[in-house]
């Protein structure tokens, strides 16, 4: 299931070339990921209260075309892979007006026990959250 997050580019996010600095895309991915999780009933703060953290293990971002100050983009986020211990989120960033592809990305995560910093199984630790991630992983009706 894809969740759409809308983001308008701010002036302070631009660089000397008057385009959005590449590092800001990574921030946008995090905004979109947290928003998407909220939309499917996964409360990040509640997970942390239960002692579960979801650190970023890696991020890949391919820049296809430039975003400039004032542009509004749609960031679609979805779960590509999930096994209860590891999680991969996919993203596309497109121009809201034209639909032009601006960027594609992926972020890799795992689930850790906050107290020990060791990997855990979300299925065992928080079964209700595990079920929500499984629903997030399900394709939308009509998709492959």
Q: Which residues are catalytic?
A: 15
- Tokens for 4? 């759409």
How far is residue 62's CA from residue 33's CA, in Å, rounded to a whole number?
Answer: 17
Helices (H), the chain: 22-39, 44-49, 122-125, 127-137
A 10 A CB-CB count for 132 gives: 17
């Amino acid at each position: 299931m894809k969740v759409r997050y809308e983001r308008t580019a701010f002036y302070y996010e631009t660089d000397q070339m008057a385009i959005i600095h590449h590092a800001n895309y990574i921030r946008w991915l995090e905004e979109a990921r947290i928003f998407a999780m909220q939309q499917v009933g996964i409360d990040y703060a509640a997970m942390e209260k239960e002692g579960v953290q979801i650190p970023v293990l890696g991020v890949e971002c391919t820049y296809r075309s430039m975003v400039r100050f004032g542009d509004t983009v749609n960031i679609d986020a979805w779960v590509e892979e999930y096994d209860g211990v590891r999680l991969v989120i996919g993203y596309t960033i497109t121009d809201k007006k034209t639909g032009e592809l601006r960027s594609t990305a992926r972020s890799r995560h795992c689930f850790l026990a906050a107290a020990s910093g060791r990997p855990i199984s979300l299925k065992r630790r928080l079964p209700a959250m595990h079920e929500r991630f499984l629903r997030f992983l399900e394709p939308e009706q009509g998709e492959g």
